[in-house]
Structure formats: structure tokens, C-alpha cells
Structure 1
Amino acid sequence: MAPLTILVASYTDSIYTLSFDPTPPTGSPTLDLLARTPVGYRPSWIASHPSDKSLIYTGLEQTDGEVVAIKYGSGGTVEGGDVVARAKSGGADPCTLLVTEDELIIGNYNSGTIATLPISTSAPYILSPNPWTLSMPFEHVGRNKARQSSSHPHQIIFNPLNQKEKELLIPDLGVDKVWRLTKRSDGKWSICGHIDFGAGGGPRHIAARGTTLYTLLELTSKLAVHAFPPLPASPTHLTSIFTLSAPLPVPDNMIAAEILLPEPNASFPGTFIYTSNRNDPNPEGDTIAIFSLAAGEGQPELVNEVRTGLNHVRGMEFGGEDDKYLVVGGVEGGGVKVFERIDGGKGLEEIAKLSADVVGCPTGFLWY
């Protein structure tokens, strides 16, 4: 197998390019730094263009938010990229991006705005310097005042359960809702509904399978499960379970971080949800919780917790053939590690790593 390339977002000033070789001629799998591409302060999220994987967008998570377009090699193992465009993000601290064929959709965490920019796969790449913005609604209703003083959109994805109608789902940590947005006749996005969660839950990221939506609640470290029919029908709450077998004191500022739900395949026919948990005081580092859906979509069961040896696991991503490998990073210690799925997907085994002095403050990943 040829080496695989991994791009790493970070809380530094750079996007890192790594080479992961799962089958070197001699020895164990290797993980090496190929390049470091300076782009600006805290490029914490990266996403590729759907039809041109060499075109990468990142958000600079800073008060005067920016988005940056980076062009990499057209195929094979790549090294550093070239910054080809910049624009304002339409708010403060852009922490999530969704790239469509002709539109960049941006979630600005601290200003509570969703913004869009027209884009192209050729120069000038970002077609307007002025983003269109939508302010998310906010009411102060007895929430976690330390973390929920305004709207905080934390992810933007298309509803994976309704491919016919383009609908955005936006977990909003600040208002304990997942917003549902559809496009108006003028091509702009507008709110058409929402899912409510208990006060102080803090919806962060979501995943879906079949007819079921799974929402990771950052502030209470829970996985909320909903039956999720298409609009105009309303979702139904099925259950909520902790992402830790021994939950830490609640409320807490920052625990549950990422949720992944890889598609079953020939190598891993079972269905599992993987969630990361940050800031665990255990000396063996943060955990990745693994939930089985063997009992049904609406009945996730915690079947394993894997200690990572990392501190403040913020992002992780599956890649390689049959999503065999999981790359994970510790923002506050431990560097970057690659795990291999074992036991049919029920377990993870560390097989390669890079120290924190080589890759600093990793926040997100993209298998190139």
C-alpha cells in the first residue's frame, strides 16, 4: 500500500502535511512530517472542495475571522500548499466550514453568525470579499452562563438523512438547539425549524444513520438520540446516554468533542459510533468511547473506552481502505497518533505517532 497523506489543522499558524505509511518495507507503520504551510492565526478547521480535492479551505479562529483557500498538488503524496485566496468570515472565530460546489458556508462561533461566500475551483477561488451573514436567534433562558452567553454554531452539515432536499443542520452550543435551515427562492439560507435539547447540554457535533440522529452534547458529555423524519415532521427523542462510563462532575466546561459514525463495510460490518472526550484527569490521557448499534439504531450501547495518551482530544478522522485507520490529536499534549481498528471495530490499537514538538496543537484532520 502506498503511503497516505493527512492534512492537520491546528491552533498554531499552520496547516501540517503528514505522511502515514501503514506497510513500510521494514518495521512498523510510520508517521512523518512532510511540510508546514503557514496560513495565519489558528487554522482550526479544514475541508476540501467536493470536486477538487486539491483545493482546501480553512477558517482562522480569531476575533477578526478569516477564511483561507489553499491549493495543494493534484494527486499522490503532497507537501506544502499555496495560499491562493483570503476573505473575511462574516464574524468572530470561524470554527466550522461546509464546502459545496459553488458556496463556502461558515459558522462563526463567538459572533453567532452563519455566513456564505461564492467560490470557484479556479482563480480567484473566493469570488466576493463580502460574505452574506445570518445571525442566529438567542434568548437568555437559564443556561450555562459561563459557556452559553450567546449563540455558538459549532458545526454545519447537510442533513444526511434527507438527500433529496438540501437541508443544513447546525448544532448551536449556545442555545441548546440544532437549527434546521433550507434555501429561500433568492438562494439565501433561512431557519425552518430546530431540535430542542435540555438546558445546558451544549450540542456540538452530530452524526446520523438510517432514520436516527445522534447529537454530541459537549457540556453534559451525553449522546442524545432522536428519531429524525424529514420536514415537516418533528423529531422524537429516544434516549440520552453518557459518553463516559464514569461521568465527570457536571456541569463541566469542555468534555465531549467529536462524534464519528463510519459506514459499515467488508472489513468492519458492524456499526459503531466513536466519540472523543477531552480534559480527562487520568494520567493515561483522554478517552475515545465506542458505542455499538447492534441492538438497533435507537439503542447505542457503550462497549469500550480507549485511553489515547493524548490531552484535550478535539478532532479525529477515519481514513485508509475501509476506514481502517483513525487519526487523533491532543491540542494540549501528546501530539498526533494513528490508531487501527481491531476486534471488528470494537477496539482501537495505537500503531504510529508524532510528538507535540513536531505537530503543535492539532485540532482537525483531513485524509488527502
Structure 2
Amino acid sequence: MNIQLYLGSYTEDGSGQGPGVQRVSVDPVAGELTVHATSAGVRNPSFLHRSFLRRSFLNGGSSLDGGSEGRLFAVEELDAGQVVELDPDTLAVMARVSSGGSFPCHLGAVGGLLLVSNYGSGTVSGLPLDRPWGAEPLWTVGQEGNGPVTDRQEGPHAHSTLALGEDRFVVADLGRDRVDEYLLGEDDGVPDLVGGLDLPPGTGPRHLLLEPQGEDGTVDLWIVGELDAALHRARRTPDGSWALIGSPVALAPGQEAAFPSEITAHPGSGERALVVGVRGSDTLAVVGRGDGEERLLRTIPCGGSWPRHLAWATDDDGAPRLCVAAERGHRLSVFVPGPDGIPVAQASLETLSPTMVLPVG
């Protein structure tokens, strides 16, 4: 029983002690983590992304239709931010370009573009997926503003993006308590800000999860509040209007210091539970979702300290496993889904300063 994963980690003094990007296999029954490849010279790769859209024109080669191996990208979360493309097998660096801002922390994709969220500068940049990268991104967008948490919201902090169809995307701006909606420009032009949603002051939106609601184009968006330690639900109707629905769900009741990170949904079609990693309390918050009646089902120990990221993967028998990167505890924890939707701990394995879990397949 093995799970094939890519792991990102902090590498720089003051950030972490990790090796960069690794391709590993994990046997949670035997409690073994085997490293198959490690990147060289990649600094603070705190977020990874796979794209199966197209191969690149790298090193003078020609463009090809995307194969099953896909492409692998990583941010370098530094003041002078970078994005690198890595060989998915050997993890050799194939290309590197400016992220268009400082301290990039997230990668997404929409309409043939790789989207880079720059936390430090509060901007989002677009890179092409169908041709070689230039010296700079195609465009960079951002908005001005701040929030009431003075030590975290002194200015905009773009923390993540999420595609809304093929021609638009949303940005979670932790510094402005705002989700912004952009429409892609024509011919790789700068996207237009076309709408979005204001969140309660001090929310600090970090990561997002989309849930389609019907054939009419209505969608629900789950928003992780890093600063208020709550999960919010918003709805976008076909006319483009946004509204919060229901009440926020507290993810760490009674905890004075709790900073939620990543959110994921169980891959099973019949499972309604959401799981959110919560740093500080070092727990997984399991939320039952309904039509405006969300509630915290349970919090469970995450198997390490500071769960920065989590993702569902499958082992080589096709069984789902929840993998959690506990950054400061230097652990990768593996959970199996319980009969009631609550993850059950299976293994906790040592790995230095993990920041990101990405299934290979």
C-alpha cells in the first residue's frame, strides 16, 4: 500500500529546514516514507501545482498536447518572488521566471494561464501555459486597501485564487477582507475587476473551495478565514451577484490562537463533510455542510504541529487517504475516512518543514 506524493517545504534560515520539493512514496501501514527525487536549488517552495493542459516549449522544443504526466510548478516564496517549472519525474528545474511580486504563496490556473498569488505585494500575476515564459508575467493585477488587524492587514495580501469557469477567477485577499472576481482580458490582456464580495472585518480570507449548485450557474464558495478562525459560505448567482449565506462556523472554539489554513472536501460523491487544517490548535476541523446549516462536527488532532496544508490522495489500491503537512512539527500525517466521515489517524511520518501535499496522479 503506497501513496505517491510531491511535498514542498521551506528551505531558508528563518523559514524552515526542508530540502525543497520531493517526490515520495508513503506506506502508512509500515510507517515508511521513501524519497525518489529531490529538487536542487529551489528555495522555499511553499506551494505546488500540477497542470495537465499542455506541455511547454522549453529549451527550444515544440508544443505538444498534454500527456498523462502533466507539468509541475512551484513558487519560491521570497521577497523577489519566483515561479519554477520542474521535471515531474526528476524534479530538475526546467524554467524560472519572476512571480511579478513578493512572497508568492499560491498557484492556480484558468483559461490556459497559471495564476500566481503574491502575498507580500498583494497582487496576482498570469503566466502562459501554452508557450515559453518571457522575462516577466503577462500581467499583474491588484487592489488597494487594508483591514482592522493592524499587524496582518496593513495592506493587500493576495493569498489564493480559484477559477470560475474558463474565463474568470476569484482572489482571496487576506489583507482587505475581500474576495475579488476578475474576467480574463482578450489576447492575454489585463483582467478586469468585475465584482466580488466584502467579508466581515477581520476575517482574513485565505483559501477557497468551490461547490457548484445547479445547472443555472449558481455556485457556492467556501471561504477559510485565517484571522477569525471561521468558515464562511458565499453564493454567486447567474447574474454575477455575491452574498454571504448562513452563519460562519467557528473552527477552533475556545482556542485563543487558531489560524486555519487549507480546506478540502472528501472525494466520495456521497460525503458531505469538509476538513480544514487549523494551526495553533493543531487540529483538523470537520464541518458538516447543508443548505445554510453548516456546523462543526468534531475537531481531531492533526498528528503534528502547524498543519499548513492537506489534500486527499489515493493509494495504489485506489483507497482515499487524507495527507496533512504539519510544517513546524516536521510530520506528514495520513488519515483514513471513518464510517461517519470523520478522518481516523493511520500514520505520522517525519519530513522536514513540509508546506504542501500534492498527489502525483
Q: Residues 308 and 192 of structure 1: is their aligned pair in 2 closer, same or farther, counting only changes over 3 Å?
A: same
**Quick one: percent identity of the two aligned structures?**
24
88, 93, 110: which one pairs with 1:72? 88
**One-letter code of the match for 1:278?**
R
Query: What is the Cα deviation at residue 360 of structure 1?
Result: 1.2
Query: What is the Cα deviation at residue 10 of structure 1?
Result: 1.0
Is 1:5 aligned with 2:4? yes
216, 228, 250: which one pairs with 1:242? 250
- Give distance in 2, aligned partners of 1:132 and 1:166: 16
Q: Residues 90 and 301 of structure 1: is their aligned pair in 2 closer, same or farther, counting only changes over 3 Å?
A: same
**One-letter code of the match for 1:72?**
P
**One-letter code of the match for 2:109?**
V
Q: Which residue of structure 1 lines up, in the alignment, with residue 58 of structure 2?
A: none
- Give distance in 2, aligned partners of 1:243 and 1:98: 25
Q: Residues 299 and 49 of structure 1: is their aligned pair in 2 closer, same or farther, counting only changes over 3 Å?
A: same
50, 54, 59: which one pairs with 1:48? 50
Query: What is the Cα deviation at residue 101 of structure 1?
Result: 6.9
**1:48-102 per-position Cα deviation (integer Å, ceiling 9, x unaligned):** 11234442000000001000000123xxxxxx42111111110101111113574
Q: Which residue of structure 1 lines up, in the alignment, with residue 105 of structure 2?
A: 95
Q: Which residue of structure 2 lines up, in the alignment, with residue 308 of structure 1?
A: 302
151, 160, 169: which one pairs with 2:156? 151
Cα contact 1:31–1:352 (8 A) shared by 2: no
TM alignment of 1:222-241, pairs within 5 A:
222-241=230-249
Cα contact 1:28–1:351 (8 A) shared by 2: no
Cα contact 1:228–1:236 (8 A) shared by 2: no
Q: Which residue of structure 2 lines up, in the alignment, with residue 76 of structure 1?
A: none
Cα contact 2:111–2:167 (8 A) shared by 1: no
Query: What is the Cα deviation at residue 29 of structure 1?
Result: 5.8
**One-letter code of the match for 2:286?**
I
Query: What is the Cα deviation at residue 334 of structure 1?
Result: 4.1
Q: Residues 367 and 131 of structure 1: is their aligned pair in 2 closer, same or farther, counting only changes over 3 Å?
A: same
SS in 2 for 1:38: coil
Query: What is the Cα deviation at residue 351 of structure 1?
Result: 1.9
Comparing 309-318 and 101-110, the one that deviates more:
101-110
Is 1:193 aligned with 2:164? no
Cα contact 2:117–2:125 (8 A) shared by 1: yes
Q: Residues 207 and 102 of structure 1: is their aligned pair in 2 closer, same or farther, counting only changes over 3 Å?
A: closer
Q: RMSD between aligned alpha carbons?
A: 2.1
Q: Which residue of structure 1 lines up, in the alignment, with residue 139 of structure 2?
A: 133
Cα contact 1:118–1:128 (8 A) shared by 2: no
- Give distance in 1, aligned partners of 2:109 and 2:337: 29
Query: What is the Cα deviation at residue 143 of structure 1?
Result: 1.4
- Give distance in 2, aligned partners of 1:350 and 1:14: 26
240, 244, 260: which one pairs with 1:256? 260
Cα contact 1:263–1:271 (8 A) shared by 2: no
- Give distance in 1, aligned partners of 2:117 and 2:279: 22
SS in 2 for 1:201: coil
Query: What is the Cα deviation at residue 117 of structure 1?
Result: 1.8
Cα contact 1:93–1:111 (8 A) shared by 2: yes
- Give distance in 2, aligned partners of 1:110 and 1:325: 33
Query: What is the Cα deviation at residue 237 of structure 1?
Result: 3.2
Q: Residues 231 and 360 of structure 1: is their aligned pair in 2 closer, same or farther, counting only changes over 3 Å?
A: farther
Q: Residues 8 and 261 of structure 1: is their aligned pair in 2 closer, same or farther, counting only changes over 3 Å?
A: same
Is 1:271 aligned with 2:281? no
- Give distance in 2, aligned partners of 1:185 and 1:99: 16
Q: Residues 113 and 170 of structure 1: is their aligned pair in 2 closer, same or farther, counting only changes over 3 Å?
A: same
Cα contact 2:109–2:162 (8 A) shared by 1: no
Cα contact 2:330–2:354 (8 A) shared by 1: no
**1:14-33 per-position Cα deviation (integer Å, ceiling 9, x unaligned):** 101210236xxxx6464333
**One-letter code of the match for 1:364?**
M
Query: What is the Cα deviation at residue 244 of structure 1?
Result: 1.5
Is 1:320 aligned with 2:314? yes
Cα contact 2:52–2:70 (8 A) shared by 1: no
How many residues are aligned here? Answer: 330
- Give distance in 2, aligned partners of 1:113 and 1:64: 13
**1:326-364 per-position Cα deviation (integer Å, ceiling 9, x unaligned):** 11111111411111111242x222223321xxx211111
Normalised by the length of structure 1, the TM-score is 0.83
Query: What is the Cα deviation at residue 131 of structure 1?
Result: 1.1
**One-letter code of the match for 1:154?**
H
Q: Which residue of structure 2 lines up, in the alignment, with residue 360 of structure 1?
A: 352
Normalised by the length of structure 2, the TM-score is 0.85
- Give distance in 2, aligned partners of 1:59 and 1:148: 22
**1:122-150 per-position Cα deviation (integer Å, ceiling 9, x unaligned):** xxx6431221333422224x511100111
